[in-house]
Amino acid sequence: MAAKKIYETPMLDVLEEGPWPSFISGIKALRDNHENQFINDVTSSLLGQLEHSYETRKGYWKGGTVSVFGYGGGIIPRFSEVADAFPESKEFHTLRVQPTPGNYYTTDMLNQLADSWEKYGSGLQTFHGQTGNIMFIGTTTENTQTFFDEINEYGWDLGGAGPCVRTAMSCVGAARCEMSCTNEHAAQRWLVNNFTDDVHRPALPYKFKFKISGCPNDCQNAIERSDFAVIGTWRDDMKVNQKEFMEYVKTKGRQYIIDNVITRCPTQALALGDDDTIQVDNRNCVRCMHCINVMPKALGVGDDKGVTILIGGKRTLKIGDLMGTVVVPFRKLDTREDYEEMVELAEEIIDFWAENGLEHERCGEMIERIGLVNFLEGIDVEVDPNMVNNTRQSSYVRMDGWDDEAVKWFERKAEA
Hey, which residues between 109 and 128 contact another protein (CB under 8 A)?
A: 109-111, 114, 117-118, 123-128
User: In angstroms, what is the minimal distance from the CB of 323 to another protein?
Assistant: 6
User: In angstroms, what is the minimal distance from the CB of 348 to another protein?
Assistant: 20
User: In angstroms, what is the minimal distance from the CB of 341 to another protein?
Assistant: 20
CA atoms within 13 A on the CB side of 230: 34
Does 196 bind another protein (CB under 8 A)? Our answer is yes
β-pairing, 228-234 vs 210-213, is parallel
Among 6, 141, 162, 189, binds another protein (CB under 8 A): 189
User: In angstroms, what is the minimal distance from the CB of 128 to another protein?
Assistant: 6
Q: Which of 212, 207, 208, 160 is nearest to 189 (CA)?
A: 212
137: β partners: 94, 124
d(CA 2, CA 388): 62
d(CA 77, CA 364): 28
Does 209 bind another protein (CB under 8 A)? Our answer is no
State whether the Cα torsion 149-153-156-161 is positive or negative: positive
CA atoms within 13 A on the CB side of 23: 8
Does 158 bind another protein (CB under 8 A)? Our answer is yes
Using the minimum distance from each CB to another protein, give the nearer residue, 1 or 294: 294
Tell me which residues in 248-307 interact with another protein (CB under 8 A). Answer: 259-260, 264, 266, 286-290, 293-294, 296-297, 300
Does 101 bind another protein (CB under 8 A)? Our answer is yes
Written as one string, the DSSP assignment of 229-292 is EEEEEE-SPPEE-HHHHHHHHHHH-HHHHHHHTGGG-TT--EEE-TTS-EEE-GGG-----HHH
Does 204 bind another protein (CB under 8 A)? Our answer is no
User: In angstroms, what is the minimal distance from the CB of 180 to another protein?
Assistant: 7
Q: Which of 130, 141, 117, 132 is nearest to 65 (CA)?
A: 141
Among 2, 319, 388, 406, binds another protein (CB under 8 A): 319
d(CA 326, CA 382): 12
| CA dihedral angle for residue 406, residue 408, residue 409, residue 413, rounded to 10 degrees | 140
Does 247 bind another protein (CB under 8 A)? Our answer is no
Using the minimum distance from each CB to another protein, give the nearer residue, 140 or 220: 220
Using the minimum distance from each CB to another protein, give the nearer residue, 255 or 401: 255
Using the minimum distance from each CB to another protein, give the nearer residue, 173 or 378: 173
Among 144, 167, 364, 372, binds another protein (CB under 8 A): 167
Q: Which of 372, 214, 373 is nearest to 308 (CA)?
A: 214
Using the minimum distance from each CB to another protein, give the nearer residue, 96 or 352: 96
Tell me which residues in 342-401 interact with another protein (CB under 8 A). Answer: 358-360
Using the minimum distance from each CB to another protein, give the nearer residue, 60 or 409: 60
Among 38, 86, 144, 200, binds another protein (CB under 8 A): 200
Tell me which residues in 136-155 interact with another protein (CB under 8 A). Answer: 137-138, 145, 148-149, 152-153, 155
Does 340 bind another protein (CB under 8 A)? Our answer is no
Tell me which residues in 223-242 interact with another protein (CB under 8 A). Answer: 223-225, 231
Using DSSP's 3-state secondary structure scheme, residue 140 falls into coil
- The size of the interface with another protein (CB under 8 A), counted in residues, is 133
d(CA 26, CA 292): 41
Q: Which of 185, 301, 192 is nearest to 241 (CA)?
A: 301
Using the minimum distance from each CB to another protein, give the nearer residue, 108 or 403: 108
Using DSSP's 3-state secondary structure scheme, residue 127 falls into strand
Does 1 bind another protein (CB under 8 A)? Our answer is no
Among 1, 6, 15, 354, binds another protein (CB under 8 A): 15
User: In angstroms, what is the minimal distance from the CB of 73 to another protein?
Assistant: 12
d(CA 106, CA 125): 17
Q: Which of 330, 195, 334, 305 is nearest to 239 (CA)?
A: 305
User: In angstroms, what is the minimal distance from the CB of 281 to another protein?
Assistant: 16
β-pairing, 75-76 vs 93-97, is antiparallel
Site pattern 41..80 for another protein (x: CB under 8 A):
-----x---x--xx-xxxxxxxx----xxxx----x-x--
Among 23, 282, 331, 409, binds another protein (CB under 8 A): 23
